[in-house]
Structure 1
Amino acid sequence: MQKIAITEASAKQLADYAETVLGIEGVDYRLGKAKIEEKMRATMYDKDYIEVPDEEAPIQRIDPPVTPGARRMATIFIMNTDKAGGTEPVPVAVNGRQMFIPRNQEATVPWEYYHALNNAKSFSYRQGPNGELIYPPAEIHEYPFSLIREDPAPVVEKAA
């Protein structure tokens, strides 16, 4: 594998990297470098380079190394739904910063976005035979998802 600066990479290299390594669907080199880079940044890709394979080596998915003090992440899978927009990426905002999480594929997101998504719930009330509401209501996620992996919480040492 060799590293290439995003500014020096071709649109084809960026599109291949975005689709194979970052898992972004529908990326075509004909979109142009600026649009592809925009899609990469929307998935929180913050490096200024990409890794391209040598002639013979196939592209492999890169899992970021876990280092102490690194940002806590979670890997989730958001399912499609039969509601309007149920196949579109899910917008999740934390402290005024929004990201769009793709559906029907594994997505690694910062832990705070997973936490916000997990808290997005509605209440569903059932009715009894006389039309009265039956308590407690069922809590339902607005965007059904599965948690695949979650980084452990950082250990905070107490001062003696």
Structure 2
Amino acid sequence: MAKDYRVLAGQATQEQLVAYLSKIQGLPNIQPNTSLEKLRAKVKELGIEDDDYINMPDDGEADREEARLSRQETVIDVSGDNVTVTVMGYEAARDRAKELGGVLVGTDGKPLRYVDFNNWPKGKILIPKTNDFDGKHDVPVAPNGRQMFIPRGQDCEVAEPFIMALMEARGTDYTQEENGGAMIPTEVQRHSLIVKRLPEYTILVPREKVAQAA
């Protein structure tokens, strides 16, 4: 399954906004020659500000963006009993912990709990309201059987497994061929999701591995 990558709405190109509005949001009448001004206005109508991130369909950029984030968001603090490494995003943090021989810890200072996600750090997301039949209802999401309902139209802080479940949820849209032909199914992202901030994870590394961490 293709992954998504993110760009700041205010920095997105015309081509990126066309892809976002047509493929991710599923808006009709979005053409490759639609002006950048009109595209930005459409984005604003969705409640998305210039400093908000938007998800883009993957064109191979996802892996490059993930690598960039893991490089730029890693900070090392050598105060305390252990070396503390903070990394943005779970996959980058998990890989870094394995590389350093450290342990991912939660907000309570204990190892991350994969059963209930209660001690996972939180990220910030926004699910815009839409004109779909359920476009104003809370959105249910249940990674690992742990269900929560996320309200639309407001910033919410949730653990990353819930964010990833929303990003990976897929639905089907149907478009009819010309002259009343067959209905053609197309897989689309189920929810319009704006990830405003990924969670920041803490890795504790034993003192003897300080040199590796640095």
Superposition TM-score, scaled by structure 2 size = 0.35
Q: Which has the higher contact order (CA 8 A, sep 6+)?
A: 2
Q: Please state which structure has a larger fraction of its residues in helix.
A: 2
